[in-house]
Amino acid sequence: MQSTALALSPVTPFLRHPNNNSNPQIRFRISPVALKPLVPCFINVPSGLSFASSFSARISTRLIPSNGRSDFPVRAASTPEKVDGTSNSSALSRTVLLGAMFGLWYFLNIYFNIFNKQVLKVYPYPATVTAFQFGCGTLMIVIMWTFNLYNRPKLTRSQLAAIVPLALGHTLGNLLTNISLGKVNVSFTHTIKAMEPFFTVLFSVLFLGEMPHFWVLASLLPIVGGVALASFTEASFNWTGFCTAMASNVTNQSRNVLSKKFMGRKEDTLDNINLFSVITIISFTLLVPAAIFLDGVKFSPSYLQFAASQGLNVRELCIRSLLVGICFHSYQQVSYMILQMVSPVTHSVGNCVKRVVVIVSSILFFQTPVSPINSLGTAVALAGVFLYSRAKRIRPNPKAA
């Protein structure tokens, strides 16, 4: 983080003659007209430095005596080349860091979806699998707070009451996504989840009263049409997988809209990472009893042996489940870290590219048969998501009074 400071130069504390001999007979008359104004130079300094440190920076000024000559210039001790070089170096390092984080985000997403599909294929208990994933995330958060890797938040009752609905939406959204992943291909689930912008606009109108402009509405048409075309031609289509993926869109986007409403209340504001961490812990607490009620206790040797008979042995199942849990929390944590570094529009564009990467990688890994029409529908839907993210940048012209 950089802050802008106004610094004055203490290079020449007193104005003296160059020969260093004090002569009281020498006088200087400085004309107010001939005196050029002091020109401050705004220099970026780290925000953690004190004002005394920033005061040691230099500015370029010049006193012009009445004869028009500059006998006593105040030396400028800072060079623009160094400032520009530091700025360029900082911008380059930030770009490299941001690129690495986007790459990590995509990498974790790919492996989460591949390993998750492998686990759900042989261990068809999505509530238990999702609860285990939240449990891994909760353990990672506790470690992060215990070792002061990130500041632990101090929650009030009003904050907790506002976060619980967000956690409920988060829990249902991930549970429904896992149900869909267990029933249909990974690529089809993510094609359906490309409908998220449609529900974002819908819930923004219903809950926030935000009316979208024409180009946002126009971008929704290829999204809806592409998802419909891909659904009609999907080889693995079944209604359970389709409906749960669509329901996950509803819950996830309602969570996002409620989160935006919550973050708008300054007295309740948490930073993105801590908000996500608290939501994860609450989701784990909510889902454990629900998983026991829905699936029962599925950790007995007989259930693990059943999973082994489907293609994964017990050791492979445990390792993949652990990797899924780590990737599940890590990719969402990295996503929130990226969101703190870039604008929401840039983040949504990155999310669109991520969905393309996940769909293509899952098709290649699982060798999913895809028809030309299905590919066309998926491409149209993803193009619509990209257009939506671009349309969000357009500011509607205010109506003349």
| DSSP track, 143-181 | HHHHTTSSPPP---HHHHHHHHHHHHHHHHHHHHHHHHH
> pLDDT > 90: what percent of the chain?
40
Distance, in Å, from the CA atom of 47 to the CA atom of 328, rounded to the nearest integer, reads 34
Taking 80 as the threshold, does the pLDDT of residue 9 lie above it?
no
CA angle 213, 214, 218 (to 5 degrees): 125
What pLDDT sits at residue 155? Answer: 87
The helix/strand/coil state of 3 is strand
pLDDT at 120 over 60: yes
* pLDDT tops 80 at residue 226: yes
Q: Evaluate if residue 35 carries a pLDDT over 50.
A: no
Cβ proximity of 386 and 220 under 8 Å: no
Which pLDDT tens digit goes with each residue over 22-34? 444 444 444 444 4
Query: Are 223 and 201 a contacting pair, CB within 8 Å?
Result: no
Segment 131-169, tens digit of pLDDT: 999 999 999 999 999 999 888 988 888 888 888 988 999
Question: Please, how many CA atoms are within 13 Å of residue 172, restricted to the half-sphere of its CB?
Answer: 16
CA distances from 140 to 20, 150, 229, 279 (A): 67, 12, 41, 13
**Rounded Cα distance, 155 and 153, in Å:** 6
- What's the rounded mean pLDDT across residues 173-186? 94
Do 63 and 30 contact (CB within 8 A), yes or no?
Answer: yes
Confidence category of residue 344, pLDDT binned at 50, 70, 90: confident
- pLDDT > 60? residue 74: no
Q: How confident is the model at residue 356 (pLDDT cuts 50, 70, 90)?
A: very high
Angle at 375 between CA 124 and CA 236, to 5 degrees: 25
In the numeric block, the tokens 């800072």 are attached to: 78
Residue 264: pLDDT band with limits 50, 70, 90: low
* 75 in Cβ contact with 12 (< 8 Å): yes
Positive or negative, the CA dihedral 173, 174, 180, 184 is positive
Please check the confidence at residue 211 and state whether its pLDDT lies above 60.
yes
Please identify which residue in the block is written with the tokens 């970026």. Answer: 44
